[in-house]
Amino acid sequence: MTWDLTTLGESGDWVSGGTPSTSNPDFWGGDIPWISSKSLTEFLVKDSDRRVTELGATKGTKLVPKDTILMVVRGMSLKSEFRMGITQREVALSQDLKGLLPSDRFHPMFLAYALKARTSEVLGMVDEAGHGTGRLQTDRLFALKTPVPPIEEQRSIAATLGALDDKIESNRRLVELIPGLIRARVLHSIEEGAQRVPVSSLASFVNGGAYTKHASGTGRMVIRIAELNGGPGGSTVYNDIDVPGDKTARPGDILMSWSGSLGVYRWARDEAIINQHIFKVIPSTYPAWLVFDRADAVIETFRAIARDKATTMGHIQRGHLDSTLIEVPAPEAVQCLDHTLGPMWERLLVAERESLRLAALRDALLPELLSGRIRVPEAAAVVQDGTE
């Protein structure tokens, strides 16, 4: 199947963003999401941690409508990933982003998928702007060739791939919701009676090892903080070395980074190797859902300790796990809560694993559909099997 081609630069109207003055409170705290390289983390762009007012939207940034394709063109993230997505509502964008308003030759979602399919090529266009900041060479981006199938074919391709993204989005909302429900139930139980215990008593905290040195390049992923925060990327290290079970991450395990960027994570990917600066948190007395919640509740305290360290990379020491206290519900309350919160915790892992599988299926179908090697009816059958 041969389709017409055009360049990405000629696929619509391009816009750049900006940042309203952060010193003017009248510009911030409104209802309009302000999308930056930091907040552009989902393909379906709906919200941001920062919002501008209607006044702020006229002061140095750029408003774009629903169905605008956004992409990061400058930022640290470009060194390992190409962040892009399509807006689901009107948003404002920062200067680190460019927006593409598709022409009427394109179904917007189709064009977004067409760009997503070229991620590897786009990352090859990134150079360095200084201080480790990646910069996308937009002249090369604009020159990318893009297929132009008939609009009905575009619509069908977008709908087929969109069915996978809809399920991924449903899982994402569930994954966001359940930890909040667990936190609310735990806090309510603590109000009725609690005990203060050292963080170290919640679980065993086992540090990873220096497994990136002399890595073979094959085998299991070596989990560093970058992989915890963004998943595997171009700089991810693989090693086929044998490591102890307590330095191995399996789906459902709890991990905690204790140096640099501190955080608590559920590992949902395939079995991997835990690098240094990351604890494997192994529950013993308490159930996993409570260990995760309480570790997450105290992580901001640990971040404050790390910031006070007079070193180049803030961190905590094992002694801080002993000296820092955290409230937990009474033992009988934990047992009672486990009947409902335990299955919720297990459902989280199911949703996260399913989303990874569906994303892999989507990414495998993308180039086949865009090239015409697979037609929509064949792909739709595969999608139906994958989402049942």
Query: pLDDT tier at 190 (50, 70, 90 boundaries)?
Result: very high
Of the listed ranges 83-97, 149-163, 362-376, the least confidently predicted one is: 362-376
pLDDT band at 311 (very low <50, low <70, confident <90, very high): low
Three-state secondary structure readout of the chain: CCCEEEEHHHCEEEEECCCCCCCCHHHEEEEEEEECCCCCCCCEECCCCCEECCCHHHCCCEEECCCCEEEECEEHHHHCCCCEEEECCCEEECCCEEEEEECCCCCHHHHHHHHHCCHHHHHCCEEEEECCEEEECHHHHHCCEEEECCHHHHHHHHHHHHHHHHHHHHHHHHHHHHHHHHHHHHHHHHHCCEEEEEHHHCEEEEECECCCCCCCCCCEEEECHHHHHHCCCCCCCEECCCCCHHHEECCCCEEEECECCCEEEECCCCCEEEECCEEEEEECCCCHHHHHHHHHHHHHHHHHHHHCCCCCCCECCHHHHHHCEEEEECHHHHHHHHHHHHHHHHHHHHHHHHHHHHHHHHHHHHHHHHHCCCCHHHHHHHHHHHHC
Taking the C-alpha atoms of residue 32 and residue 137, their distance in angstroms, rounded to an integer, is: 29
What is the per-residue pLDDT across 202-261, written as a single tens digit (0 to 9) for each?
Answer: 999 999 999 999 899 999 999 999 999 888 987 899 999 999 999 999 999 999 999 989
Query: Would you identify the CATH topology of the domain 194-329?
Result: Adenine-n6-DNA-methyltransferase TaqI; Chain A, domain 2 (3.90.220)
What is the pLDDT at residue 308? 84
Tell whether pTM > 0.95: no
Q: In the numeric block, which tokens belong to residue 135?
A: 């910069």
Domain ranges of the chain: 4-148, 149-189+333-388, 194-329
The percent of residues in the chain predicted with pLDDT above 90, rounded, is 83
Cα→Cα distances 226→42, 135, 233, 277, 278, Å: 17, 19, 9, 12, 11
CA-to-CA distance for 289 and 285, rounded, in angstroms? Answer: 12
**Structural contact between residues 218 and 241, judged by C-beta atoms closer than 8 angstroms:** no
- C-alpha separations of 199 from 25, 206, 283, 302 in Å: 39, 13, 12, 11
Q: Which residues contact 268 (CB under 8 A, 6 or more apart)?
A: 251, 252, 349, 352, 353, 356
Per-residue burial over 118-156, b = 16 or more CB atoms within 10 Å of its CB, e = otherwise? beeebbebbeeeeeeebbbebeebeebebbbbeeebbbb
Assign 310 a pLDDT band (cuts: 50, 70, 90): low
- d(CA 107, CA 152) in angstroms, rounded, equals 9
Q: What token pair was written down for 345?
A: 């915790």
**pLDDT at 312 (0 to 100):** 63
Nearest to 40 by CA among 16, 5, 68, 72: 72
Tens-place pLDDT, residues 328-337: 999 999 999 9
User: Is the predicted pLDDT of residue 342 greater than 60, yes or no?
Assistant: yes
Mean pLDDT of 138-163: 94
| CA 377, chain centre distance (Å) | 31
Question: How far is residue 284's CA from residue 267's CA, in Å, rounded to a whole number?
Answer: 18
* pLDDT computed for residue 380 by the predictor: 87
Q: Above 90 in pLDDT, residue 98?
A: yes
Report the mean per-residue pLDDT for the chain: 94
| pLDDT tens-digit map of 108-124 | 999 999 999 999 899 99
Q: How much is the pLDDT for 382?
A: 86
The contacts of residue 77 (CB under 8 Å, 6+ apart) are 37, 83, 134, 230
pLDDT at 9: 96
pLDDT confidence of 147, banded at 50, 70, 90?
very high
For 24-56, the pLDDT digits (tens) are 999 999 999 999 999 999 999 999 999 999 999
Mean pLDDT of 291-299: 98
Give the model's pLDDT for residue 79.
80
The pLDDT of 267-276, averaged and rounded, is: 97
Same fold for the pair 4-148 and 194-329:
yes
CATH of region 4-148, choose from 3.90.220.20, 3.90.1640.30, 3.30.450.70, 3.40.50.80: 3.90.220.20
Residue 69's pLDDT is 98
Radius of gyration of the chain (CA): 23
Query: How would you classify the pairing of strands 248-249 and 272-274?
Result: antiparallel
- Percent of the chain whose predicted confidence (pLDDT) is above 70: 98
